[in-house]
Homo-oligomer: A and B are copies of this chain.
């Protein structure tokens, strides 16, 4: 795809070459994210960071990514009750807000709203999550993390063996990740969930059509025994009809250090889209894993900044200029 000026709305936009392009650019952002260097390439540019639904992590990650490229951020958080109550259409909102910035990141509770917004926008729009529909930067940072973690072991995404664990029915992130995996070759996907929270049929079919091996299981220890990546997810309580119903499943697939040691291959990487539920009755990833160097969940969150920097640089066409506007960091950085 042509990135310059493009909207980033869905992972369906991407072919394998696009993913590889994004990841190569993300790699080049590392010195800036790690504060070894500062770049001012987007000095004077404005990101409209429009979060019509709260999400501290995603919002701050997008904003920090833009700041790290030298740009400014104008922000909205929370639902736009006033203008909606006055009957403003998404078209009008988009026409107006896109006059204030060079690029927009938008999160909105309504499925499809970000694409509708983008159609009327005069500047590139990045989907920061539209209801249960899409959250493409999460899928990209997940896949980028897999690539990084495997790379250190001399491997790559082709040939990956991954287990996805937990609420596979409601987890938007695992659906998207499966879609992206279809762009790669020879992958073994083990799906570990209670029967009632199984991965939707269409996702399973899609994986198989891509030539991947799919193993369906409700046994955690067997599921994680021969994989490169164990991708755990949270029971999405808010999608159940009641807390009691969610409680039926909560804590069913807990991974902790002793299970890890006993059942996983050495150096199996643990991922999670976060937040992980650390309450006693859930605790899908126990805190005793915090010192395990293969717990990649915070590297995963960090990678979100790299991927978002990459997307900004691509749609605003400054990839080749980032280093030109760079200098060394002159303050203390513990990283």
Contact = CB atoms under 8 A, between A and B. Distances in A.
B64 A80 contact: no
Contacts of A96: 57, 274, 298, 301
A214 interface: no
Nearest to A283: B87
Contacts of A274: 88, 92, 96
A106 to B, nearest CB: 12
B332 A321 contact: no
Nearest to A317: B332
Contacts of A43: 38, 40
Contacts of A86: 234, 237, 275, 277
Nearest to A331: B316
A49 to B, nearest CB: 9
Interface string A66-93: 0110101111110011110011110110
Nearest to A4: B332
Interface string A11-40: 000000000000000000000000100111
Contact of A56 (B55, B83, B95, B331): B83
Taking the full assembly, how many copies of this chain does it contain? 3
Interface string A166-205: 0000000000000000000000000000000000000000
A278 B83 CA distance: 11
A242 interface: no
Given A45-B331, A89-B287, A101 B64 contact: yes
Contacts of A61: 100
Smallest CB-CB A-B distances: 9 pairs: A38-B44, A87-B277, A88-B275, A317-B332, A64-B100, A89-B278, A87-B279, A316-B331, A99-B302
